[in-house]
Amino acid sequence: MTTFNLNADMAESYGPWVMGNDNALLPVINSANIACGFHAGDHNIMTNTMRKAAEHHVSIGAHPGFYDLHGFGRRQMNLSLDEIEHLIAYQLGAAIGAAALAGVKVTHVKPHGALNNMAATNADMAMAIARAVKAVDKSQIFLAPVLSELVTAGEACGLLVAQEIFADRAYMPDGQLAPRSRPDAMIHDPDIALSHSLTMLTEHKITAIDGTTLPITPHSLCVHGDGASAVAMAKHLQTGLTHAGLTAKTLPDMML
């Protein structure tokens, strides 16, 4: 692979409460996953962040999650498949409406947090999410974790699927993200994150926490935007990957 896409979750503040440093992160990344108001964000933050993303030529995605502001969308919820479809359709519709007002376009969808993690291993949940995306806008790029049921579901629904890897997260031997409850789930050292990312992007493999290697087909690299060192981590990754000879692109430019 000679190109890469660096994405980050953002617009995750709420009213006067601030999460992350979107203004500093937007000039560094290539694609933004915009919270849709259920796990974080609100109508003002969502629309204003989209406008700022466009100013930096950053492509825009909807980032729908569970209706869980207090838990930041990281708590599992037991919903029916119909409820999951409605949940996704509602939030994607809100994002598309905000984008229209801002004069920009939503080009991808990435599920958030516990919803994403649960659907990664639950084929029925994954299909419900993919069906909802297709029903609202079948032209959306479906950003889904590598080696997940979401990839399979997106492809089965005829969506254009971009497979996602995580720069700052460790992986289990089955290819799923290490639970945040583990002390080794997060990668905090920027050099280790860069090496981890280069291996995934150039060698097309994941090395799990037990040394297991798994083949992957990656398209987009995520760095979490809600940590204190998020901007420094993103800058280190963007610079390091570019120095390694890779060219940064927005997600539509990568996929379309």
pLDDT digits (tens, 9 = 90+) for 170-198: 999 999 999 989 999 999 999 999 999 99
What tokens were used for 252? 């539509």
> Which residue from 77, 8, 6, 74 is spatially nearest to 40, judged by alpha carbons?
74
- pLDDT on residue 72: 96
What is the separation of C-alpha 10 from the centre of its chain, rounded to a whole number of angstroms?
Answer: 10
What tokens were used for 13? 């503040």
Q: How many CB atoms lie within 10 A of CB 183?
A: 7
- pLDDT on residue 158: 98
Poorest-confidence range of 128-137, 141-150, 201-210, 225-234? 225-234
What tokens were used for 2? 């000679």
C-alpha Rg value of the chain to the nearest Å: 17
- pLDDT on residue 143: 98
Q: Is this model's pTM higher than 0.85 or not?
A: yes
Question: Using an 8 Å Cβ cutoff, are 200 and 194 in contact?
Answer: no
- pLDDT on residue 23: 95
> Which residue from 160, 162, 158, 178 is spatially nearest to 170, judged by alpha carbons?
178
Residue 140 has pLDDT above 80, yes or no: yes
- 256 band by pLDDT with thresholds 50, 70 and 90: confident
- pLDDT on residue 227: 72
Maximum distance among all alpha carbons in the chain? 48
In the chain the domains, ranked by start, together with CATH numbers, are 3-248 (3.20.20.370)
Which positions ≥6 away from 70 have C-beta within 8 Å? none
Which positions ≥6 away from 95 have C-beta within 8 Å? 34, 36, 46, 62, 64, 106
Q: Which amino acid is at 5?
A: N
Distance CA 124, CA 227 (A): 32
Residue 185 φ then ψ, to 5°: -70, -35
Residue 225 has pLDDT above 80, yes or no: no
For Cα atoms 13, 19, 22, give the angle at the middle one, nearest 5 degrees.
85
- 136 band by pLDDT with thresholds 50, 70 and 90: very high
C-alpha distances (whole Å) from 58 to each of 8, 144, 256 are 11, 19, 15
Q: For the packed helices 43-55 and 81-102, what is the interaxial angle rounded to 10 degrees? A: 60
- pLDDT on residue 251: 98
Q: Which amino acid is at 95?
A: A
pLDDT digits (tens, 9 = 90+) for 97-128: 999 999 999 999 999 999 999 999 999 999 99
Share of residues in the chain with pLDDT > 70 (%) = 100
Going by the DSSP 8-state scheme, the letter that residue 236 receives in this structure is H
- pLDDT on residue 58: 98
Share of residues in the chain with pLDDT > 90 (%) = 95
- pLDDT on residue 224: 83
pLDDT digits (tens, 9 = 90+) for 31-78: 999 999 999 999 999 999 999 999 999 999 999 999 999 999 999 999
Helix (H) / strand (E) containing 199: helix 190-203
pLDDT averaged over every residue in the chain: 96
Going by the DSSP 8-state scheme, the letter that residue 165 receives in this structure is E
Average pLDDT over residues 23-32: 97
